[in-house]
């Protein structure tokens, strides 16, 4: 399944090698990441086509829907093809009104792992991110107890690899004393560069940096520089934003989210765009 057209591969552990261009499944839930998808057949088709096009890592969580997105993944892709990695997250639940509720007590985190296993139909989860801070940004707080609970499940064989989401530099350092971290997932894109230091650190330590909101999330990226570079390349501004992320560091991985096959194809094709040094300079200025 590995293909250089998907941004090349990244080896994070002996049994964990992925194409850098992946897929983020959050957009498959209903509005505000709550309830069923607007178009169920299209959601299933998006997942199947992503894998057909060579995507070998899908980012998800039980709290998307809640449960809807993991159910769709299982329906579309189970039994899972060899080499497909499903990366899930724990640390939150949803209220009946769609609210997001932090649930990070060790026993609840363990329960969430078991729920993900059941929903996805897996005996061991490929990778689990401990999602810590809010989407707006991480907060410094100790993580050893929470991460320790997941490391325990890793030792029991229920989780293959561990990651973190919405975390600070200090938090990454803290938990590395407990177990290896193969991926960090924080908010980052060409216009939101507050996490530049973490991107560089992940590259130096061989950790995958999965940029969430690579296209701006609920606030789509808009910039004259993106438009200009896209026009010169005959590409779309979204493709340029993704190509910039791939070029930004050797260990960035992309999880653009979409509920449409047309956008999926466009996003995957972005891995083949060549950005010149001049284009990079022009794009770098957006987030400075
Ligand atoms: N750890 C965390 O706290 C956290 C938070 C947020 C997200 N995430 C993860 O990160 C992934 C990516 O984030 P995201 O999906 O929220 O944001 P995103 O990838 O930045 O943007 C998704 C939005 O862009 C649109 N879009 C996608 N491709 C497009 C294209 N080629 N042309 C035009 N519009 C396009 C989508 O609409 P359409 O559906 O119409 O294409 C959707 O509205 C999620 O799926 C999730 O797995 C993690």
Mean pLDDT, 10 residues at a time, the chain of 288 residues: 77 96 98 97 98 98 98 98 97 97 97 98 98 85 97 98 97 98 98 97 98 96 97 98 98 98 98 96 93
**pLDDT for residue 4:** 60
* pLDDT of the residue at 139: 85
Task: Give residue 164 CA to ligand 1 midpoint distance, Å.
Answer: 19
Atom of ligand 1 nearest to the CA of 212: 10
Residue 143, both tokens: 């993580």
**Closest residue by CA, ligand 1 atom 42:** 258
**Model pLDDT, residue 171:** 97
Residue ranges of domains in the chain:
15-287
pLDDT at 133: 87
Indicate if ligand 1 lies below 6 Å from the C-beta of 70.
no
What's the gap in Å between 196 CA and the centre of ligand 1? 20
Task: Kindly report the number of other CB atoms within 10 A of residue 266's CB atom.
Answer: 17
Topology given in CATH for the domain delimited by 15-287: TIM Barrel (3.20.20)
What pLDDT, on a 0 to 100 scale, did the predictor assign at position 224? 96
pLDDT for 137:
79
Cα separation, 209 vs 196, in Å, equals: 11
Nearest CA to ligand 1 atom 31: 263
* 185 close to ligand 1 (CB < 6 Angstrom): yes
**pLDDT the model gives residue 3:** 53
Q: How far apart are CA 182 and CA 126, in angstroms?
A: 11
How confident is the model at residue 93, as a pLDDT?
97
**Distance, CA of 265 to CA of 154 (rounded, Å):** 35
Q: Ligand 1: distance of its center to the CA of 23 in Å?
A: 9
Q: How far is the CA of 213 from the centre of ligand 1 (A)?
A: 6
Please list the active-site residues.
64
- Report the nearest atom of ligand 1 relative to the CA of 61: 47
| pLDDT of 1 | 44
């Amino acid at each position: 399944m590995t293909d250089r057209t998907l941004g090349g591969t990244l080896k994070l552990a002996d049994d964990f090698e992925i194409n850098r261009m992946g897929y983020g499944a959050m957009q498959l839930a209903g509005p505000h990441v709550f309830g069923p998808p607007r178009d169920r057949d299209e959601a299933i088709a998006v997942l199947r086509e992503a894998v057909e096009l060579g995507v070998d890592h899908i980012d998800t969580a039980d709290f998307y829907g809640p449960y809807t997105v993991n159910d769709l993944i299982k329906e579309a892709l189970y039994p899972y093809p060899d080499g497909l990695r499903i990366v899930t997250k724990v640390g939150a639940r949803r209220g009946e009104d769609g609210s997001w509720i932090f649930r990070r007590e060790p026993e609840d985190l363990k329960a969430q792992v078991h729920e993900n296993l059941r929903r996805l139909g897996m005996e061991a989860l490929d990778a689990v991110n401990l999602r810590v801070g809010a989407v707006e940004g991480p907060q410094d707080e100790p993580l050893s107890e929470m991460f320790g609970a997941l490391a325990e499940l890793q030792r029991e064989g229920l989780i293959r690899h561990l990651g973190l989401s919405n975390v600070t530099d200090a938090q990454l350092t803290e938990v590395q004393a407990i177990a290896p971290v193969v991926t960090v997932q924080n908010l980052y894109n060409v216009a939101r560069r507050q996490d530049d230091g973490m991107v560089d650190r992940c590259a130096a330590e061989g950790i995958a940096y999965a940029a969430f909101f690579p296209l701006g999330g609920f606030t789509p990226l808009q910039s004259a520089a993106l438009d200009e570079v896209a026009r010169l390349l005959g590409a779309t501004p979204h493709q340029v934003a993704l190509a910039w992320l791939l070029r930004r560091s050797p260990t960035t991985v992309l999880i653009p989210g979409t509920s449409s096959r047309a956008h999926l194809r466009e996003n995957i094709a972005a891995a083949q765009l060549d950005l010149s040094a001049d284009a990079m300079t022009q794009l770098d200025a957006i987030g400075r």
